[in-house]
């Protein structure tokens, strides 16, 4: 170690014990202090001081080399979301820039429990920013929800001497991250799900791209609906959350929107569609969230059953997974890049057990304990606004 220090040291004429330190090495512990020119200086030429200094510097280098050899792991979990690859790329390249080794975990928590790690260099994440899905693969695992599964995952992380894990995923994935964090492992979450149902981030990676796909479908359906004076129903994803349906409905100018947060009677929907025709509209579009009680299936059955009385058909399009596999747009690429980079910044700062999301336009860390115990709520005033705008 001493030799290494000597090799790195640049003796200055006026200060025989002056070493130049690269700025990136960070803070120098007291009593050794860093001056403006990034050098450490001891003015006395006393042998004892020199000895003490050498020991301090040795310790410093030991800490620094540990810091530089930090190994972190990154995984993607739950429903894939366009932009996950941009987040992986950001974690890998900013991690490498910190001087760490970065490993990917294949297929989410299932891969973590199986110890399925792959070392990632800068070139391994080249050419992925423009692709949807996730290069690492994702997954859902019931076993990981159990103590046995989590202990198994921790065993692999500890055996491989990882110092931190980055979890890119949605609500369920961050509950998993919280579970590992509660068991003492340093975890950082990155907010990513097309559902936008995750507390701790106003918008999550993938939402914007998924919304644009839904919007394109609505626009197209409106064209054909207008040609025939027809009524169409479009079902969008979102699980128990109506965010995608509400936003796609507003942006697509839908005549009616059905979300789980405000259950709607099919009879009322039929009335809204009829009234749209009566107001002279050539089309009538209803956007329905998959998690609503009267989703595509429920609504289609109702309209079929009451066809005679209602006097018109409802043609149904279920977008399903089409919304997930899109090419990430600029918003998601940038959001994912910012959140991925913010995650490694937090690791560098020794801050763990948090989710990195976007709040008030800034990358913000929210404790996973808060994330795992809070729900994100929709602004239901927008549903009322959508009704007014549909007139």
Q: Which is nearer to ligand ADP, 148 or 161 (CB)?
A: 148
Q: Which does 145 bind (CB under 5 to 8 A by kind): ligand F6P, ligand ADP, none?
A: ligand ADP
User: Which residue lies nearer to ligand ADP by CB, 240 or 250?
Assistant: 240
> Quick check: 323 binds ligand ADP (CB under 6 A)?
no
Q: Report cis status (omega within 30 of 0) of the bond before 31.
A: yes
Catalytic positions are 195
Give the binding-site size for ligand F6P (rule: CB under 6 A). 11
Residue 139 dihedral angles phi and psi, to the nearest 5°: 180, 165
Please say which residue, 95 or 357, places its beta carbon nearer to ligand F6P.
357
In whole angstroms, how far apart are CA 224 and each of 201, 322, 353?
A: 37, 20, 50
**Residue 169 CB, nearest approach to ligand ADP (Å):** 4
Q: In this structure, are residues 223 and 317 in contact, taking their beta carbons and an 8 Å threshold?
A: no
Q: How far apart are CA 111 and CA 143, in angstroms?
A: 12
What minimum distance in Å lies between the beta carbon of 215 and ligand ADP? 22
Q: Which residue is nearest to ligand F6P (CB)?
A: 79
Q: Is 27 helix (H, G, I), strand (E, B) or coil?
A: coil
Q: Which is nearer to ligand F6P, 9 or 251 (CB)?
A: 251
Q: Does 238 bind ligand F6P (CB under 6 A)?
A: yes
CB 335 within 8 A of CB 83: yes
Tell me the per-residue interface mask from 138 to 177 with ligand ADP, x by CB under 6 A, - otherwise. --xx--xx-----------------------xxxxx-xx-
Q: For 328, list phi and psi in degrees, rounded to 5.
A: -60, 130
Contact pick of 17, 21, 74, 79 for ligand ADP (by CB under 6 A): 79
Tokens at 389, concatenated = 């705008």
Q: How far is the CB of 136 from ligand ADP (least distance, A)?
A: 14
Partner whose footprint covers residue 324, from ligand F6P, ligand ADP, none (CB < 5 to 8 Å by kind): ligand F6P
Tell me phi and psi for residue 169, to 5 degrees.
175, -175
DSSP three-state, residue 154? helix
Does 170 interact with ligand F6P (rule: CB under 6 A)?
yes
Q: Give phi and psi for 356, each to the nearest 5.
A: -95, 120
Site for ligand F6P in 286-305 (CB under 6 A): 290
* 187 vs 342 by CB, closer to ligand ADP: 187
Q: Which residues of 244-269 are buried (b: 16+ CB within 10 A; e: fewer)?
A: bbbbbbbbbbbbbbbbbbeebebeeb
Contact between 107 and ligand F6P per CB under 6 A: no
Out of 135, 324, 333, 338, point to the residue binding ligand F6P (CB under 6 A). 324
Per partner kind, with CB cut-offs from 5 to 8 A, the member of ligand F6P, ligand ADP, none near residue 169 is ligand ADP
Question: Under the criterion CB under 6 A, does residue 337 sit at the interface with ligand ADP?
Answer: no
Residue with the closest Cβ to ligand ADP?
172
Residue pair 162/72 in contact (Cβ under 8 Å)? The answer is yes
Helix runs in the chain, H state only: 2-8, 47-68, 84-97, 108-114, 147-159, 171-182, 207-228, 243-251, 266-278, 296-305, 307-310, 330-348, 368-373, 381-389
Q: Which does 204 bind (CB under 5 to 8 A by kind): ligand ADP, ligand F6P, none?
A: none
- Secondary structure (3-state) at 347: helix
- How far apart are alpha carbons 361 and 171 in whole angstroms? 20
Task: Indicate whether 193 belongs to the interface with ligand ADP (CB under 6 A).
Answer: yes
194 binds ligand F6P (CB under 6 A): yes
Q: Which does 238 bind (CB under 5 to 8 A by kind): ligand ADP, ligand F6P, none?
A: ligand F6P
The binding site for ligand F6P (CB under 6 A) comprises 78-79, 170, 193-195, 237-239, 290, 324
């Amino acid at each position: 170690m001493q030799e290494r220090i000597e090799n790195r040291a640049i003796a200055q004429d006026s200060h025989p014990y002056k070493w130049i330190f690269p700025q990136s090495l960070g803070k120098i512990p007291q009593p050794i202090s860093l001056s403006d020119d990034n050098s450490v200086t001891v003015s006395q030429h006393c042998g004892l001081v020199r000895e003490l200094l050498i020991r301090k510097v040795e310790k410093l280098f030991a800490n620094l080399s540990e810091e530089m050899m930090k190994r972190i792991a990154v995984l993607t979990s739950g429903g894939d979301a366009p932009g996950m690859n941009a987040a992986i790329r950001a974690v890998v390249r900013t991690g490498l820039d910190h001087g760490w080794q970065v490993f990917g975990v294949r297929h989410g928590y299932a891969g973590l429990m199986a110890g399925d790690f792959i070392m990632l260099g800068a070139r391994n994440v080249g050419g992925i920013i423009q692709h949807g899905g996730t290069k690492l693969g994702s997954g859902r695992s019931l076993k990981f929800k159990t103590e046995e599964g989590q202990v198994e995952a921790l065993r692999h992380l500890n055996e491989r001497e990882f110092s931190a894990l980055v979890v890119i995923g949605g609500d369920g994935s961050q509950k998993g991250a919280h579970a590992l964090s509660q068991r003492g492992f340093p975890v950082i979450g990155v907010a990513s799900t097309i559902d936008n149902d995750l507390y701790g981030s106003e918008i999550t990676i993938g939402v914007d791209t998924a919304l644009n796909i839904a919007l394109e479908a609505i626009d197209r359906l409106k064209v054909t609906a207008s040609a025939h004076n027809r009524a169409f129903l479009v079902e969008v994803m979102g699980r128990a959350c109506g965010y995608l349906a509400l936003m796609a409905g507003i942006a697509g100018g839908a005549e009616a929107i059905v979300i789980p947060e405000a259950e709607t009677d099919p009879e009322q929907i039929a009335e809204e569609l009829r009234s749209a025709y009566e107001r002279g509209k050539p089309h009538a579009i209803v956007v329905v969230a998959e998690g609503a009680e009267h989703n595509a299936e429920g609504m289609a059955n109702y309209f079929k059953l009451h066809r005679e009385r209602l006097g018109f058909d409802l043609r149904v399009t279920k977008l399903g997974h089409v919304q997930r596999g899109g090419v990430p747009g600029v918003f998601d690429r940038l959001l994912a890049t910012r959140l991925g980079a913010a995650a490694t910044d937090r690791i560098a700062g020794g801050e763990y057990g948090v989710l990195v999301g976007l709040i008030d336009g800034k990358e913000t860390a929210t404790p996973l304990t808060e994330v795992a115990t809070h729900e994100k709520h929709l602004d239901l005033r927008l549903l009322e606004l959508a009704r007014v705008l549909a007139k």
